[in-house]
Amino acid sequence: SRSINLAVIPGDGIGQEVVAEGLKVLSAVLPQDVKLETKEYDFGARRYHATGETLTDADLEQLKQHDAILLGAIGDPSVPSGVLERGFLLKLRFAFDHHVNLRPSKLLPGVATPLAGQPEIDFVVVREGTEGPYTGNGGTIRKGTPHEVATEVSVNTAFGVERVVRDAFERAQARPRKKLTLVHKNNVLSFAGHLWTNVFNTVAQEYPEVTTDYIHVDAATIYLVTDPARFDVIVTDNLFGDIITDLAAAVSGGIGVAASGNINPSREFPSMFEPVHGSAPDIAGQGKADPTATVLSVALLLRHLGYDNEADRIDAAVAADLTERAGKPARSTSEIGDALAVRVAG
Amino acid sequence: SRSINLAVIPGDGIGQEVVAEGLKVLSAVLPQDVKLETKEYDFGARRYHATGETLTDADLEQLKQHDAILLGAIGDPSVPSGVLERGFLLKLRFAFDHHVNLRPSKLLPGVATPLAGQPEIDFVVVREGTEGPYTGNGGTIRKGTPHEVATEVSVNTAFGVERVVRDAFERAQARPRKKLTLVHKNNVLSFAGHLWTNVFNTVAQEYPEVTTDYIHVDAATIYLVTDPARFDVIVTDNLFGDIITDLAAAVSGGIGVAASGNINPSREFPSMFEPVHGSAPDIAGQGKADPTATVLSVALLLRHLGYDNEADRIDAAVAADLTERAGKPARSTSEIGDALAVRVAG
Ligand SMILES: CC(C)[C@H](C(=O)O)[C@@H](O)C(=O)O
Ligand SMILES: CC(C)[C@H](C(=O)O)[C@@H](O)C(=O)O
């Protein structure tokens, strides 16, 4: 009999609320014969304040036992900027080698967008997750003096670039339009840019059916608002991916509906799924948060574990719910979760 | 009697056409007593193909003699990516210490924007121009092998950050809303992020009238499409500035109207003014290019040289022209230049 052994990290702020709805929908969609086991972990601001810990080696050992991880949101104004980001979120991505950071963007009918004319938006960003300027390389000399020098080193390896580029080609190949765009800044960042471009062009030869192109990251932000329909699959560096996926989320319905997966495709370590939004402490505990992004992250999680049918049912339920929402009064976090749970079960 | 000794670099593609209109408007707006001298330089793809040179030390010596530089656009598909960018554009910015890269964004009434609801947009980005990931620091080992490692080093100095932050505070102080936003990614790029944040907060104490805030670059792209009115002056790093100013141009009328200045505020070296757009080889020589961005760059140039009144007249002429354009058939490059020249003279 099948089973899913899930680590649940509600985290801070609205994380608790949205994760509860994600689990509600997950339980509702799973067939009877699939045994769902969940274990909750208390990472985030409270644990940090209580113990000074963000993510210990022992924590990592425990998390490793799970099939996947569902995360709500981590972060609170009471914790200095960077502590939980570096100490928890990035530490986990690096420890579990989450090199494929998957962020789909799809504008559904009726969903509000800041763009005029309700353009067609349906693309996926494959963001590299373990290299680039995120490695923590760099340093500071003469800190706090008028002669301070601070450096940040972007580290890019053929190994790291090739595996994520290959993953993106596989995803492009599996989609109807079969188009893959490399986003970088190879005219200025020429060392990393040459590596990315060269690997991209080399791997492309193995995927003759996939149409490819290249655009600079600055130009990509223009296309994301003037012609988002030009994108099918995008592959990009860790930092460029961070920036363009927030913009992509904004134009395709907002971060309330943007899901993401931090994926280790080899399954050597559990992958982690989380909404793109943060902990939003200003609306925490009020039942105002939209759990849709978390529910869509659950769909990514199910697809990663091979439950494609269940993932499709969640996507369809969300699409129907979003279309119905338009013009209606706002519902609470749990009302949206309930509605989605009913739909996926039905 | 007053004089302006201007270096003119038409460059590639549409550069020739738009610069001609920029000069037309400049001549029309200058009072009789100001002697305008111009000298044209042939930098760009043709010179590179003919001589292999992009910008020599002798060229720099010549350019130094001028009060300012007006550039059209540099770049052509026949030249490998990076050659003219590193060999000309960035070389000039670094050689003449153009540390203030000024990029205003203003959405004028009637001007088309991809955003719904014609939001209010009127802000200026002060982008650092001589540090960050643009320094060319970094390198490659085992190039072309499966073990290649490529690095890019972002270099940030207290000296370099403070002078651009100070410039941005001065500009914010001089504007009615007096608001300055620092855009960085200090939760991940913590070495550079700490330096930027610390310098920003320290200099802020000298400008008690200026309201300040901080946002991460990823979130900034969201606000640029959902709430651009929140911005007044933005100060940011070289790479983040590159990315967000293309997005800013896109939402505030497109790159056809986006101007920029590469400024050396100490006037030790001539500053350079150029449209944000590129050389657009696909429409070159057809009279289709919009010279407005170049004309607005001429206004920035005049303001830099102390001709505030003339700069204001150009801005007003462009605003009137843009408002009148809406819904009318497209005019040619020179028709737009002629109309603007008439307006500024009148
Ligand atoms: C919180 C931060 C470390 C993170 C990132 O920069 O990757 C976030 O912005 C994201 O996109 O998941
Ligand atoms: C052409 C390139 C070197 C340049 C940059 O990245 O600065 C351009 O994108 C710009 O914004 O002026």
How many whole angstroms separate alpha carbon B187 and alpha carbon A240?
15
Greater confidence, A325 or A305?
A305
Ligand 2 nearest-atom number relative to CA B74: 1
Chain B neighbors of A139, CB-CB under 8 A:
191
> Do A1-101+260-346 and A113-252 have matching folds?
yes
Structure tokens at A215: 């655009």
Query: What are the C-alpha distances in Å from A247 to residues A185, A224, B219?
Result: 17, 8, 8
**Res. B70 pLDDT band, cuts 50 70 90:** very high
Q: Is residue B251 pLDDT above 90, yes or no?
A: yes
Angle, vertex CA B195, rays to CA B189 and CA B200, nearest 5: 115
User: What average pLDDT does the segment A190-219 reach?
Assistant: 98
Contact criterion met (CB below 8 Å) for B311 and B299: yes
Per residue in B204-239, pLDDT tens? 999 999 999 999 999 999 999 999 999 999 999 999
Could you give the count of Cα atoms lying within 13 Å of A91 in the half-sphere of its Cβ? 18
Provide the pLDDT for residue B289: 97
Residue A286, annotated as binding a ligand: yes
Per-residue pLDDT band for A326 (boundaries 50, 70, 90) equals: confident
Can you give the residue ranges of every domain in chain B?
Answer: 1-99+258-346, 113-252
Write out pLDDT tens, residues A234-285. 999 999 999 999 999 999 999 999 999 999 999 999 999 999 999 999 999 9
High-pLDDT (> 70) share of chain A, %: 100
Mutant choice from B218, B251, B260, B276 vs A, greatest count of A C-beta within 10 A: B218
- Local confidence band at A180 (pLDDT 50, 70, 90 cut-offs): very high
**Residue B110: pLDDT band with limits 50, 70, 90:** confident
Residue A149 scores a pLDDT above 80: yes
What residues of B are in contact with residue A137 (Cβ under 8 Å)?
A: 151
Q: Which of A162, A218, A242 sits opposite B246 (nearest CB)?
A: A218
What is the Å distance from ligand 1's center to A140 Cα?
22
For domain B1-99+258-346, give the fold: Isopropylmalate Dehydrogenase (3.40.718)
Considering the domain A1-101+260-346 in this protein, what is its CATH number? 3.40.718.10
Q: Is B226 helix (H, G, I), strand (E, B) or coil?
A: helix
Report the length, in residues, of chain A.
346
Give dist(CA B294, CA A6) in Å, integer.
58
Active site residue A246: yes
Q: Which ligand is nearest to the CA of B189?
A: 1
- Tokens encoding A121: 């938006």
pTM of the model: 0.97
pLDDT at A110: 78
* Mean pLDDT rounded to a whole number for chain A: 97
Say whether pLDDT at A128 is over 80: yes
B143-159 exposure pattern, b = at least 16 Cβ within 10 A, e = fewer: eeeeebbbbbbbbbbbe
Mean pLDDT, rounded, for A291-307: 98
Contact A99, A160 (CB under 8 A): yes
pLDDT band at B326 (very low <50, low <70, confident <90, very high): confident
**Running DSSP on this structure, what letter comes out for residue B24?**
H
- Chain A CB contacts of B191 under 8 Å are 138-140, 150-152
The tokens for A140 are 């500071």
Atom of ligand 2 minimally distant from the CA of A185:
6
Which of B83, B85, B91, B134 to probe ligand 2 with, by most ligand atoms within 8 A of CB? B85
Query: From the alpha carbon of A218, which atom of ligand 2 is closest?
Result: 9
B158 vs A139: CB contact, 8 Å cut-off? no
Fold of the A113-252 domain: Isopropylmalate Dehydrogenase (3.40.718)
The answer, yes or no, to whether any atom of ligand 2 lies below 6 A from the CB of A218, is: yes
Residue A280 annotated in ligand binding = yes
